[in-house]
Amino acid sequence: MTEISETNPKLVEADISGLKVRTRDGDNLGHIKAMMVDKRSGHATYAVLSLGGFLGMNKSYYPVPFSLLAYDATQDDYVVTIDRRLLEGGPSWSNNAPEFDQSYADRVSSYYGTAPTAIS
């Protein structure tokens, strides 16, 4: 973990590195840039995936509900359990991250069809 910042009273964002992410088919997608953790329960609620780019340029960031990731202990990485095209069409940014408030969390959950998470 490299940096921790509080985004609201209930969530803390932890910037991390080294957690690789791949598709269900085994293709490399990128890595987890940050996790949003519920401070009360200690459970990760969202992951921010860093995809694409070359030499740190033109990367895009995709917030996904953590329930859509599965850990693969044999490969020591995470697998996105949804289709890559669905992920790439989802909420994202390349510069200037949005404020991760309740409205944005609801938008992310609605897009992926997961239960909304109360973050405030």
Confidence of residue 116 (pLDDT cuts 50, 70, 90): confident
Quickly count: other Cβ atoms within 10 Å of residue 32's Cβ. Answer: 24
Highest mean pLDDT among 11-25, 35-49, 85-99: 85-99
H/E segment holding residue 70: strand 69-72
pTM as predicted? 0.84
Q: Is residue 111 part of a domain?
A: no
Is 39 a member of any domain? yes
> Is residue 55 domain-resident?
yes
- Structure tokens, 39: 């401070």
CA nearest 87: which of 20, 23, 15?
23
Q: Is 102 part of any domain? A: no
29 belongs to a structural domain = yes
* In-domain check, residue 117: no
Q: Which domain holds residue 50?
A: 20-93
Q: Is the pLDDT of residue 77 over 90?
A: yes
Q: What CATH number does residue 85 fall under?
A: 2.30.30.240
Element (H, E) at 48: strand 44-51
Q: Assess if residue 7 is contained within a domain.
A: no
pLDDT band at 20; cut points 50, 70, 90 = very high
* Domain tally, the chain: 1
* pLDDT (average), residues 16-26: 87
